[in-house]
Amino acid sequence: AAGVIQSPRHLIKEKRETATLKCYPIPRHDTVYWYQQGPGQDPQFLISFYEKMQSDKGSIPDRFSAQQFSDYHSELNMSSLELGDSALYFCASSLRGPNTDTQYFGPGTRLTVL
């Protein structure tokens, strides 16, 4: 079965640079979630989109923005990168509806800020 696709898998940036992470949800899924996972920590919710509209917002810095496109893929844009942004970034997707909203996670993008 098709899974969530994330690109790139690894990304190295310098401080103050920008980064764009991409997420391609499972076919037919209409909701995308972004999570950040620091070393040895649990995933922290950043933001989610349903049908191209922001549906919820968590602990996402103002330097970050995201959007969902007409083909349901999503991009997380990160500017003025800081050392503390180094983490694994996961995208998850789901299909809205009772008992179908299970979130399936992608393999993640490992961002390293030097």
Binding site residues, another protein, CB under 8 A? 4, 31, 33, 35, 41-45, 48, 50, 55-56, 58, 90, 94, 96, 99, 101-108, 110
**DSSP codes of every residue in 70-107:** TTS-EEEEE-S--GGG-EEEEEEEE--STTT---EE--
In the complex with another protein, the residue whose CB is nearer, 18 or 41, is: 41
Q: What six digits make up the tokens of 46?
A: 């950043």
In the complex with another protein, the residue whose CB is nearer, 15 or 58, is: 58
- Residue 39 CB, shortest distance to another protein, in Å, is 12
- Residue 97 CB, shortest distance to another protein, in Å, is 10
In the complex with another protein, the residue whose CB is nearer, 27 or 40, is: 40
Q: Distance between CA 72 and CA 31 in Å, rounded?
A: 8
Question: In one letter, which amino acid is 69?
Answer: F
